[in-house]
Structure 1
Amino acid sequence: MDRLRSWCPLPGCPRPAVLLCFLILAASFLVYPMLRTLSLQLHSAITGSYISGTHSIVFVNCPNEQIARDIARTILAKKLAASVNILPKTSSLFFWKGEIEEATEILLLIKTKTSKVLKLSSFIRPTVLLRQSSW
Structure 2
Amino acid sequence: MNCWCQRCQGPPQNGHRSTWILVLLVIIGSCMHPILKSIFSQIHSAITGSYISGSHSLVFVNCPNEQIAKEIARGILEKRLAASMNIMPRTSVLSIWDGEIEESTEILLIIRTNTFKISELFAYIR
Where on the TM-score scale, by shorter chain, does this alignment land: which range?
Answer: 0.5 to 0.7
Q: Does 1:119 pair with 2:117?
A: no
Unaligned runs of 5+ in 2: 1-26
Per residue, is there more helix in 1 or in 2? 1
Q: Does 1:87 pair with 2:88?
A: yes
Paired residue for 2:54?
53
Aligned residues: percent identity?
Answer: 62
Matches within 5 A, 1:13-52: 33-34=31-32, 37=37, 39-52=40-53
Question: So what's the TM-score if we normalise by structure 1?
Answer: 0.64
- Give yes or no for contact 2:29–2:40 (8 Å, CA) kept in 1: no
Q: Distance in 2 between matches of 1:94 and 1:110?
A: 23
Q: Distance in 2 between matches of 1:117 and 1:34?
A: 18
Matches within 5 A, 1:2-13: none
Paired residue for 2:24?
none
Q: Distance in 1 between matches of 2:31 and 2:42?
A: 12
Q: Distance in 2 between matches of 1:52 and 1:66?
A: 34
Unaligned runs of 5+ in 1: 1-28, 126-135
Alignment-mate amino acid for residue 67 of structure 1: I
Q: Which runs of 4+ in 1 moved over 4 A?
A: 29-32
Question: So what's the TM-score if we normalise by structure 2?
Answer: 0.68
What are the Cα deviations for residues 8-60 of structure 1, in whole angstroms up to 9, with x where unaligned?
xxxxxxxxxxxxxxxxxxxxx99861399354332201233221000000000
The total of aligned residue pairs comes to 97
